[in-house]
Amino acid sequence: MTKIYIHPLPVRLWHWVNAVGFVLMILTGFQLRFAGTVRLLSFETTVDLHNWIGFVLIGNFFVWLLFYLFSDRIRAYHPELSPRLHFERSFRQMQYYGYGIFKGQPNPHKLGIYDKFNPMQSMMYQVVMLMLVPLIAVTGLLLWDSTVFGGAVQFFGGTRVVGTIHYLLFVFFCFFIFFHVYMGSLGHTVTAHYKAMFITGYEDAHDEPQEDTESPRSGA
């Protein structure tokens, strides 16, 4: 059985810190938002923790960004430029997750070191990493010191607007984590993706090859 090295060490280290950090940010975020209901830590300690972990996550984001910017692995994040192919493949992937997987059909996505994401993951991870993570970080930074960043906060519509955007993203990430962890269990075994991302970096190339060779991504 062929093994493919799809998650190099910097990606795995980034993901470890990111996963633990996000879970802690969500827990401390809950405590801050629902301070009257949940009271595991004092308000001051929770604010300090939330701020410090936030800074660690911002630094960690640059580990991910710089690794991909200076590595040929960035090809894994190249979008499919043909909308027709993108939607056809996404549809095939959705059919697989909604039906084929329960019938033991092969995954339509062929794994490769430059093609580790299926079309749905590819789109989701681009939106999450290039838009939503930066947006929750920037809004968090603005709220962290609204005197220093007062001008920017006013520019974006005031503390209420910035706070609401930050909160809505928090809600999104609460749901994202559950969905993401569930999707992570849909490899050829329940633990295959977890082992690859958190320990070995390797996935087994079990899947049947894709028929269509129209796009350069499928051959990568």
Site residues, ligand HEM (CB under 6 A): 7, 11, 15, 18-19, 22-23, 121, 125, 128-129, 133, 177, 180-181, 183-184, 193-194, 197
The CA distance from 161 to 171, in Å, is: 15
Least Cβ distance, residue 48 to ligand HEM (angstroms): 21
Angle (deg, nearest 10), helices 43-69 and 9-33:
150
Least Cβ distance, residue 72 to ligand HEM (angstroms): 13
Query: Which residue's CB is nearer to ligand HEM, number 77 or number 149?
Result: 77
The CA distance from 192 to 24, in Å, is: 25
Least Cβ distance, residue 207 to ligand HEM (angstroms): 14
Query: Which residue's CB is nearer to ligand HEM, number 36 or number 175?
Result: 175
Least Cβ distance, residue 155 to ligand HEM (angstroms): 26
Structure tokens at 101: 């997987």
Query: Which residue's CB is nearer to ligand HEM, number 22 or number 162?
Result: 22
Q: What is the DSSP string of 84-143?
A: HHHHHHHHHHHHHHHTGGGGTPPPSSPPBTTB-S-HHHHHHHHHIIIIIHHHHHHHHHHH
Least Cβ distance, residue 42 to ligand HEM (angstroms): 26
Angle (deg, nearest 10), helices 133-144 and 43-69:
140
Query: Which residue's CB is nearer to ligand HEM, number 107 or number 153?
Result: 107
Query: Which residue's CB is nearer to ligand HEM, number 121 or number 146?
Result: 121
CA-CA distances (angstroms) from residue 81 to 71, 77, 124, 140, 217? 21, 12, 15, 33, 10
Pick from 140, 116, 137, 139: nearest CA to 59: 137
Least Cβ distance, residue 143 to ligand HEM (angstroms): 19
